[in-house]
Structure 1
Amino acid sequence: MTTSRRGRGLLAATAVSAATVLVVTAAGGATAAQTAGPDQGKAAPAGKAVGKEKGYYDARTPSAKTTHARAAKVAGKETAASEKFRNSLGSQGVVEVDPNTGTPAQVTKLNGFLTGRSAKKAQDIALNYVKAHPEIFKLSAGDLATLRLRKDYVDDLGTHHIFWSQVVDGVEVFGNGLKANVTKNGQLISIMGAPVAGLSSQAQSRSAAAAPKLTAAEARTAAAEDVGGTAKSATAKTTGVNTKWNNGDTAKQVWFHTADGLRKGWMTYVNAGGTKIYSHVIDAQTGGLLYRRHLSSDGLGDALVVDNYPGAAKGGTQRVENLIYNKWLPKNAKTLLEGTSVAAWADVNDDNQPNAGETVKVPGTRTTAEYKLVSFPNAASSCSTSYICTWDPAKPDSWKTNLNQDVTNGFYLASNFHDWLAKPPISFTPAAGSFDAAGGDPVLLNALDGAATGDNGGPDGNHINNANMSTPPDGTPPTMQMYLFGNPFVPTSSSNSADILYHEYGHGLSNRLVVDATGNSTLNSIQAGSMGEAWSDFYALDYLVSHGLEKDTTAPGEVLEGKYVTHGGSIRTQANDCRVKAISPNCVGEDGSKGGYTYGDFPTIGGEPEVHSSGEVWAQTLWDLRERFGRGYAVSLITRAMELSPADPTMLDMRNAIVQADLVASGGKNAGIIWTVFANRGMGWYAGAVDGGDAFPAEDFHKPPTGATTTLTGTVTDKDTGAPVTGALVYIGGHASGYAGDYAGVTDATGKYTITNVAPGTYPKVVVSGPGYELLVQQVTVKAGAKADFAPRRNWASASGGGSVVDFNGPDYSDYGCGPGGAIDNAQGTGWGSTTGDDNGTPTGVMVPKHIDIKLPEKVDISAFNVDPSNTCGDPEDASTGQYRIETSADGTTWSTALEGTFTAANVGKYNLVTPTGNATDVQYVRFWMLSPQVPDFATNCPSGGFAGCQFTDLTEIQVFGTK
């Protein structure tokens, strides 16, 4: 029996300078250091394990190692013509080629446009450019004929954002297509999308084999079961290749392209209960999983509402707002808060449906406004006239007292924020993907979500101290779940806290603007997810400050997220307006460091890499831009940059997009200031990241260099044998992210590589990824005639080099992205998560040792093991491996100890090279034992000491070095 995988709570009550830290569980697929998860879970003491959902999966990019290997093959096939094209863009040109399609994922420049001014139609400008460069885009006339215009909208700077999907026989390709951005003057900013070349012929050859064997209903059921939910009983209506159920679930036939070819699939949107709201692509022939994305991100008309929070110095007193006059409700509205952009009810049983007793009558009588807030001053010591409590957790059903007020206030705030985001300079309009009843996708606001799910007239542990927002693609309604808050927070509701509700709404903004060619959000990795949290904080706090509801003077440390629920503190480790080296009690980190964060702080802000805390460096940088340029221009750049973003961006990618947004808006006049702001935060020209999943980026404080570029060459050889490593991808992290293209090369048969057009300087993350070898990252200084050689070690345990897991004990969490195979995938973004006690994860206080058996492709004399014992699968650091033992065998039957030891917190987050003390020759099998987690004083603190390690024990990676 497999238990539901559980990880760290999302709102952990960790005191930091009298503030409270918001932390998050990764949503399945990868560790918290890799994948953004929902704002959902249970408040608990620091380290307490709480609920967890399955996370992100994409068969097109199943692992970093696979992606790098595919990119190396693509780079190895580059022609002289495509190299000439890349070089023609200059040192700040960007050409990233998708490792599956071999076509560009992104073509752009940071210091200019791809084309000059033109009076031609924007669509024609983009398509003509693609036609003019077949050496890089590789699209034939037949391929261009598969393009179908999906959207062409103009932002408030006059820029056209154009999307084409690819369609064959009436069926759309999932994710691939073309995106183009063209200025109002007809200048091409960028082309993106990784279109499929030779699509029609591939579809024709697959037509017989690709005929769907699963029905739409079977695909819907498979999607629900994949995430441990159930497909709700509903009536279906089918039109062409689309099926829609009356509960909002959908299924649509699509083509799905991987490196292994084209497959027919069902793209589904399924609400399987609670926060199990997902988008899937299910293989139409096998029922297998091709894609999974958790959509939740972890907030007669006269109504009484608050603009900030109850008790706030400004916006804290209820006032009258007419919901019909503001056109948030239709004139004839009477019984339901079902408006033009929001439908709200109290989903107290968390079934995502408005049942009897959960809906609210439209407020207002002929003489009075309705739904006065009732205070609960004795509910907790944190209750006061400045931070009013709205329920009492000790009194069953006390939340019912303010049910009408709670739902109405949530409806008001969400409707108000919809209108605010629609105005310039944000301009989040229906064309851009906003949430509107007219477009079929109003926000479904579930106030008091799960308030009646507990046993004591209140919420259970999974429905308190948080909020979340699920965001499906444009046209499908998002769901906003607003929870109650209780101990250790101010007992209130998140529907009464503008900053929390606006934060959740902000997830809808970023998830609708950072999308692929077919409109699916691409905020998946830890860096992208961290920016998602930061954008939500930024837009929420920007609204409150710009309306005078919160103070922001020249003094740092004033702009706080979660001020209400924390009784004047923050749910972040620092204030949003903390400049670098700022002096303020609210600008002190968990480790006691003073001043705002820089890029190098990314993994340590909250004690470990995690999207909410790691995102603080991005939120503070955005506030720097706001201070430098003023609110209007800064917000315009920040929003427009999201529309210019490549898929699954790093913070460096988004820095580039902001530079490009200024290029569009001012002709690049402010580029120097923008680079200064980012360089000050450690995101300068030479800053490095392996990819979006890199939780340990390298910071740099330089602006872009000027002058001539040069070429970097070198040789990659096996460290143990000296033999050349063929087909290894070599790229400069921060300028390339494992794609073939600029700042990247691939080794030939002699192990030699060449990277052209490189600006001189010191690059802290030059990456080498070869099949069956360790991922090697080292610093390189580039100057004229620069040469950098690399000597990675053969990792005999690596799955890409022939290693395999042949046995293990404990539960299998592969469906959550942290099964045993994660320990040998050569990537630190994923790992093997297991239990401490029994297979159900029951914390017993007794460790049941867990082992993984790895078969090497050949017999090896082992020189060393390289182990990253870190927590994975969303668990906190105390779930990392502590005591361990490594055994070896020649035949997989007779085992002998090669090494025993103990890892501590000092070993977490990195590889640790350990040498066998014996039994290291003629080895074909390696067994790694996890003997204890890193829970301090395990015997005393488990099972009920509030540590996740009492329940789960993890290992991120084991590598085996030696010679055959």
Structure 2
Amino acid sequence: MRISGKGRGLLAVTAVGVTTVMAVTAGGGAVAATSADPGPKGPAEATSPISSKERKGNFDARTPSNRATYARAAKAVGKETAASEKFRASLGSQGVVAVDPNTGTPEQVTKLNGFLTGKSSKKATEIALAYVKAHPEVFKLSESDLGTLKLRKDYVDDLGTHHISWVQVVDGIEVFGNGLKANVTKAGQLVSLQGAPIAGLVSQAQRTRGAAITADAARTAAARDIDAKLRTAKATKSGAVTKWSDGGTAKQVWFHTADGLRKGWLTYVTAGGSKSYSHVIDAQTGGLLYRRDLVAHGNGDALVQDNYPGAAKGGTQRIENLIYNKWLPKNAKTLLEGTSVSAFADVNDDNEPNPGETVKVPGTRTTAEYKLVPFQSSSSYCAVTFVCTWDPAKPDSWKTNLNQDVTNGFYLASNFHDWLAKPPISFTPAAGSFDAAGGDPVLLNSLDGAATGEGGGPDINHVNNANMNTPPDGTSPVMQMYLFHAPGADDEQDTYLPSSSSNDASILYHEYVHGLSNRLVVDATGNSTLNSIQAGAMGEAWSDFYALDYLVAHGLEKDTKAPGEVLMAKYVSHAGLFRTQAIDCRVKAVSDTCVGLDGSKGGYTYGDFPAIGGAPQVHASGEVWAQTMWDLRERFGRSYALSLITRAMELSAADPTMLDMRNAIVQVDLIATGGKNAGILWQVFANRGMGWFAGALDGGDSRPVEDFHIPPTGATSNITGTVTDKDTGAPVPGALVFIGGHASGYAGDYSAVTGADGKYTITNVLPGTYGKFVVSGAGYEVLGKPLTVKAGGTVENIASRRNWAAASGGGTINAFTGPDFSPQCGPGYAIDSSQGTGWGSTTGDDIGTPTNVMTPKNLDIALPAAVNLTKFSIDPSNTCGDPGSSSTGKYRIETSTDGTTWATAAEGEFTAANRNQFNEVTPTANTTGVKFVRFVMLSPQVPDFATNCPDGGYGGCQYTDLTEIQVFGTK
């Protein structure tokens, strides 16, 4: 069992002898970051010693790092029958059939310009199931499989659309993740089917062994995986679920991987601080099958403010009765435990309301409570318009406003709960809202960690941030609101206002919206699928959008026709830029707050995704989506824009790209108006680079290709060609050929597999220039480039280099040093031709003890033949959910003709700029007749490694990783 590290952000070091080449890239691991992190242009950037902790990221053994291997996808596409191809064609040029590479069943079947069925008066569930039964050529579900479906939810939104989900159950145990989802209009039209249900489930379950480890052992393994210390807790059994008194749970589930069905334990562990994770632990081996970071990084008369202390609008405390508004019960006296929020000051960050941390219900017979006490001498940034609420230089000064801080946070969260429940958002209990009656009120921890540091203040991990974890419906989320401005840092080192995030409505509302998006974008079993970098970026963008929409709609912030006015976290950044740009920056807008880090003027487009913050990152990269949502608000008005955006989350494919969400928004308009606004919607997205020909491989693709065209009309075309070996000219059979971003990635539409002669044909393609045309053959490199498809047909022949290291072509791991973290990230993943998996190792000893001295780790690859080498191609990225600093930094490549005598062929150093892509390295010596290649990791990408480790918070102090190595040459 691999033990996780934790740490803080990373800086780049200088690369040596590395050339970056165009390559197909994926995110290389899901992003888990606290949601209120300042953008790289934020006020704390200059010389602040403060940065967010690196966290263990997400992991999914079904599609590691949310990206299936091309080999699995090729296998799925290769099983297409004439009947299934006929079905695809029947959906037209904007039809979508996305096939899950593991199950071979659809992840999504839908149309962007129409419905799958006509109007019907039958029950929505009957309509959906009838369609599945009518098309066994696509869904592949037998009567036995249909018998495993158990209705979990039939929720009707405010447009009348039914959002239905079925879980699959065998022997009383539910399948995790896979199932069936359907969306049916109020008129009985089938919009889409999703979920990748498992075919042959009953027979697979009969062949699967029972559990060998207990629920308690699974809980322990999950905690160990995230390097968490569990508190002693009492266990009780409630049906199939084991519950612990600390809030943790465990229950058995079926878990389907590419290698078949396994029995696992689904656990929820909350271990203090912000360590709240869901896991699926293999019930036989105790190994890791799934990990998801749930944190997104954020008598009754009370004195509250609606915006922030000192704001021109909503900046003065006023009286609000918490009982009259039904946020507290009538008999509430001692605790702020309300109908949707339970609030206290978690100053020691143990997630428990200890003595001195709770707040009495405000209000006396004669006065409202609690008046804010300003600390205007604590910083040069304090002003009448930006009131400081504590002094980082004075021990325990945060205690002065503790009651006010908690009460204000309680008010804001309760108020926002009610606002989100109203149309057009309609985030109600049926949709998954947070309510005490449903057993899942928001647990609001104000002043989180305020007493964790020396000298009566917060430590560096409890400042300048906020976060919220969101478990599935029925389990309470935890919202942690931190102080801003680090003790010991002057105003040049930390330029944030000495304040609290519970007093900044934009930050608290931002955190709350993570709950909205994580409850609406879910799989068939109700688990959030916002896992990858594009999905995570949209999560941050939605949080900014809904928060700022509220403030503008209530006249608390100004938004005129001038661009660049609407700023996130205006309070803590004292009117500076918290993100890199304002949310209302239109494309080509001219404003000081609409300038990118590179000096470019105007709002962002899709192609800016990897560069907005200098490197792909959910907060910065998400700004293009936030600005696009604001475009919709300006074009359609806030009410219809909010309806489009919210309802699209409910229609969304799992782990969506921004292109997937574009499609869902177009479909919402189809439901609401019959598609009257489709042309305008496509133009809005095309203006932001998300046009018809834009390309993205999947949600993990951190380098999408932009396009500015609306969907073309007219006849479709075909792409034909031959894939050959670049060196020998021989045909390459079984290669996957596809167009990324349409509409379902590389195992669905716009894809084909080469035959024995290397030939392929992709049919029903609309003409135009597509950004990502991709080819991947067994034992060959992955190639990606733009392709222009012409009316009447296009011939595209591809010559691909043999990758002699690839396992699919005969490469094998001959030896390695360091620990073996199989099955989730063993050495073999470095040669599996997928940038979604990789080899995870340690920096020092085999158990991951943090160190500032690298113990070199080497990987020896036996090639299937003797090769005269020409190039190496390396993706040095972090993997297995490790943070970015775990990427390979310094490296050496050695070669051998016999596996015994080794000589250096190349060496250098990778930086953050080299992550999530292949980087070509030219060997300088020892290239002839090579039978073995050794890759040596000499350091992680920890800045100033010797100083920042072992006690620094960098994951690279514990782990060093390699995502993929390719070896090219001639036999």
Q: TM-score, normalised by structure 2?
A: 0.91
Query: Alpha-carbon deviations, 1:485-511, whole Å to 9, x = none?
Result: 113311111111111111111110100
Q: Which moved more, 1:428-437 or 1:274-283?
A: 274-283
Q: 1:95 aligns with which of 94, 97, 101?
A: 97
> Is 2:18 aligned against 1:37?
no
The answer for the alignment partner of 1:422 in structure 2 is 421
Within a 5 Å distance, the mapping from 1:261-660 to structure 2 comes to 261-486=260-485, 487-660=494-667
Q: Shift of residue 271 of structure 1? A: 0.8
Q: Measure, in 2, the Cα distance between the counterparts of 1:197 and 1:370.
A: 61
Alpha carbons 2:57, 2:883 under 8 Å: kept = no
Q: Shift of residue 422 of structure 1? A: 0.5
Query: Alpha-carbon deviations, 1:526-574, whole Å to 9, x = none?
Result: 1111101101110111111101111110000011111111111122000
Matched residue of 2:461: which SS? coil
Matched residue of 2:424: which SS? coil
The answer for the alignment partner of 1:792 in structure 2 is 800
Q: Which moved more, 1:153-162 or 1:930-939?
A: 930-939
Which amino acid is 1:152 matched to?
Answer: D
> Is 2:881 aligned against 1:885?
no
The answer for the alignment partner of 2:169 in structure 1 is 167
Alpha carbons 1:32, 1:609 under 8 Å: kept = no
Q: Measure, in 2, the Cα distance between the counterparts of 1:71 and 1:529.
A: 24
Q: Measure, in 1, the Cα distance between the counterparts of 2:57 and 2:955.
A: 19
Which amino acid is 2:5 matched to?
Answer: R
Matched residue of 2:326: which SS? coil
Q: Shift of residue 890 of structure 1? A: 2.5
Given the superposition, is the C-alpha separation of residues 814 and 304 from structure 1 closer, same or farther in structure 2, using an over 3 Å criterion? farther
Alpha carbons 1:303, 1:369 under 8 Å: kept = yes
Alpha carbons 2:566, 2:584 under 8 Å: kept = yes
Which amino acid is 1:646 matched to?
Answer: A
Q: Shift of residue 961 of structure 1? A: 0.8
Alpha carbons 1:485, 1:494 under 8 Å: kept = yes
Given the superposition, is the C-alpha separation of residues 906 and 114 from structure 1 closer, same or farther in structure 2, using an over 3 Å criterion? closer
Given the superposition, is the C-alpha separation of residues 836 and 73 from structure 1 closer, same or farther in structure 2, using an over 3 Å criterion? closer
> Is 2:706 aligned against 1:699?
yes
Alpha carbons 2:811, 2:863 under 8 Å: kept = yes
Given the superposition, is the C-alpha separation of residues 404 and 822 from structure 1 closer, same or farther in structure 2, using an over 3 Å criterion? farther
Within a 5 Å distance, the mapping from 1:111-190 to structure 2 comes to 111-190=113-192
Q: Measure, in 2, the Cα distance between the counterparts of 1:706 and 1:721.
A: 41
Q: Measure, in 1, the Cα distance between the counterparts of 2:836 and 2:694.
A: 20
Within a 5 Å distance, the mapping from 1:817-828 to structure 2 comes to 823-828=830-835
Which amino acid is 2:935 matched to?
Answer: F
The answer for the alignment partner of 1:9 in structure 2 is 9
The answer for the alignment partner of 1:199 in structure 2 is 201
The answer for the alignment partner of 1:761 in structure 2 is 768
Matched residue of 2:207: which SS? helix
Which amino acid is 2:517 matched to?
Answer: S
Q: Shift of residue 123 of structure 1? A: 1.1
Alpha carbons 1:8, 1:875 under 8 Å: kept = no
Matched residue of 1:404: which SS? helix
Alpha carbons 2:64, 2:836 under 8 Å: kept = no
Q: Measure, in 1, the Cα distance between the counterparts of 2:403 and 2:153.
A: 40
Q: Shift of residue 68 of structure 1? A: 2.3
Which amino acid is 2:793 matched to?
Answer: G
Q: Measure, in 1, the Cα distance between the counterparts of 2:779 and 2:572.
A: 50
Q: Measure, in 1, the Cα distance between the counterparts of 2:828 and 2:459.
A: 34
The answer for the alignment partner of 1:79 in structure 2 is 81
The answer for the alignment partner of 1:107 in structure 2 is 109
Query: Alpha-carbon deviations, 1:76-111, whole Å to 9, x = none?
Result: 111111110110000000001111111111000000
Matched residue of 2:725: which SS? coil
Given the superposition, is the C-alpha separation of residues 425 and 261 from structure 1 closer, same or farther in structure 2, using an over 3 Å criterion? same
Q: Which moved more, 1:304-313 or 1:721-730?
A: 721-730
Alpha carbons 1:31, 1:830 under 8 Å: kept = no
Which amino acid is 2:895 matched to?
Answer: T
Given the superposition, is the C-alpha separation of residues 266 and 373 from structure 1 closer, same or farther in structure 2, using an over 3 Å criterion? same
Matched residue of 2:107: which SS? strand
Query: Alpha-carbon deviations, 1:388-417, whole Å to 9, x = none?
Result: 111111111111111111111111111111
Give the root-mean-square deviation of aligned CA atoms.
Answer: 3.1
Given the superposition, is the C-alpha separation of residues 382 and 892 from structure 1 closer, same or farther in structure 2, using an over 3 Å criterion? farther
Q: Measure, in 1, the Cα distance between the counterparts of 2:326 and 2:413.
A: 13
Matched residue of 1:587: which SS? coil
Query: Alpha-carbon deviations, 1:143-201, whole Å to 9, x = none?
Result: 22221111111111111111111112221111111111111111110011111112222
Matched residue of 1:741: which SS? coil
Given the superposition, is the C-alpha separation of residues 101 and 933 from structure 1 closer, same or farther in structure 2, using an over 3 Å criterion? closer
Alpha carbons 1:9, 1:47 under 8 Å: kept = no
Query: Alpha-carbon deviations, 1:684-716, whole Å to 9, x = none?
Result: 000001221111100000000000112212222
Which amino acid is 1:35 matched to?
Answer: V
Matched residue of 1:111: which SS? coil
The answer for the alignment partner of 2:60 in structure 1 is 58
Which amino acid is 1:689 matched to?
Answer: A
Q: Shift of residue 230 of structure 1? A: 3.1
The answer for the alignment partner of 1:15 in structure 2 is none
The answer for the alignment partner of 1:661 in structure 2 is 668
Which amino acid is 2:346 matched to?
Answer: D
Given the superposition, is the C-alpha separation of residues 472 and 412 from structure 1 closer, same or farther in structure 2, using an over 3 Å criterion? same
The answer for the alignment partner of 2:238 in structure 1 is 239
Query: Alpha-carbon deviations, 1:755-794, whole Å to 9, x = none?
Result: 1111111112011222332221122111222121222222
What residue ranges of structure 1 are gaps of 5+ in the alignment? Answer: 13-29
Q: Measure, in 1, the Cα distance between the counterparts of 2:943 and 2:480.
A: 36
Matched residue of 1:958: which SS? strand
Q: Which moved more, 1:501-510 or 1:454-463?
A: 454-463
Q: Shift of residue 53 of structure 1? A: 2.3
The answer for the alignment partner of 1:256 in structure 2 is 255
Query: Alpha-carbon deviations, 1:558-612, whole Å to 9, x = none?
Result: 1111111111112200000000000000000111110000000000000001110
Alpha carbons 1:608, 1:877 under 8 Å: kept = no
What residue ranges of structure 2 are gaps of 5+ in the alignment? Answer: 12-25, 39-43, 486-493
Which amino acid is 1:780 matched to?
Answer: L
Alpha carbons 2:30, 2:58 under 8 Å: kept = no
Which amino acid is 1:299 matched to?
Answer: G
Query: Alpha-carbon deviations, 1:839-870, whole Å to 9, x = none?
Result: 978786x8876654434344432221123456
Q: Which moved more, 1:283-292 or 1:928-937?
A: 928-937
Q: 1:720 aligns with which of 727, 731, 734?
A: 727
Q: Measure, in 2, the Cα distance between the counterparts of 1:947 and 1:299.
A: 21
Matched residue of 1:366: which SS? coil
Given the superposition, is the C-alpha separation of residues 737 and 569 from structure 1 closer, same or farther in structure 2, using an over 3 Å criterion? same
Given the superposition, is the C-alpha separation of residues 850 and 456 from structure 1 closer, same or farther in structure 2, using an over 3 Å criterion? farther
Matched residue of 2:794: which SS? coil
Q: Measure, in 2, the Cα distance between the counterparts of 1:48 and 1:803.
A: 44
Q: Measure, in 1, the Cα distance between the counterparts of 2:569 and 2:273.
A: 24
Q: Measure, in 1, the Cα distance between the counterparts of 2:957 and 2:117.
A: 59
Query: Alpha-carbon deviations, 1:198-230, whole Å to 9, x = none?
Result: 222222333xx2x22222222222211221113
Given the superposition, is the C-alpha separation of residues 716 and 382 from structure 1 closer, same or farther in structure 2, using an over 3 Å criterion? same
Matched residue of 2:80: which SS? coil
Which amino acid is 1:374 matched to?
Answer: V
Which amino acid is 2:669 matched to?
Answer: D
Matched residue of 2:724: which SS? coil
Q: Shift of residue 4 of structure 1? A: 5.8
Which amino acid is 1:603 matched to?
Answer: P
Q: Shift of residue 947 of structure 1? A: 10
Alpha carbons 2:4, 2:882 under 8 Å: kept = no
